[in-house]
Amino acid sequence: IGAPQIHASGLGPLPVVDEDEGSYNYAMWQLYQKRRKERELRMKIGRDLEDVLLL
């Protein structure tokens, strides 16, 4: 079950990589996913704070 290979720059798919290789591309993809989740969480927290401040 391979994760879709997406370049961190968002410029499109990377060549398919075998996860078992512990490859550079897969490591970069995991880092990208982690950062994206953190950014989404920060945005959500920011919206929640705005809601509190507006009340």
Structural domain contains residue 37: yes
Structural domain contains residue 12: no
| pTM for this predicted structure | 0.45
Structural domain contains residue 5: no
Cβ 52 vs Cβ 29: under 8 Å: no
The confidence score (pLDDT) of residue 19 equals 54
Number of folded domains that form the chain: 1
Structural domain contains residue 47: yes
Instruction: Give CA–CA dist 37/43, Å, rounded.
Output: 10
Structural domain contains residue 49: yes
Q: Please give the average pLDDT of every successive group of 10 residues along the chain, which has 55 residues.
A: 54 56 75 92 87 74
Where in the sequence is the domain holding 49, given as residue range(s)? 19-54
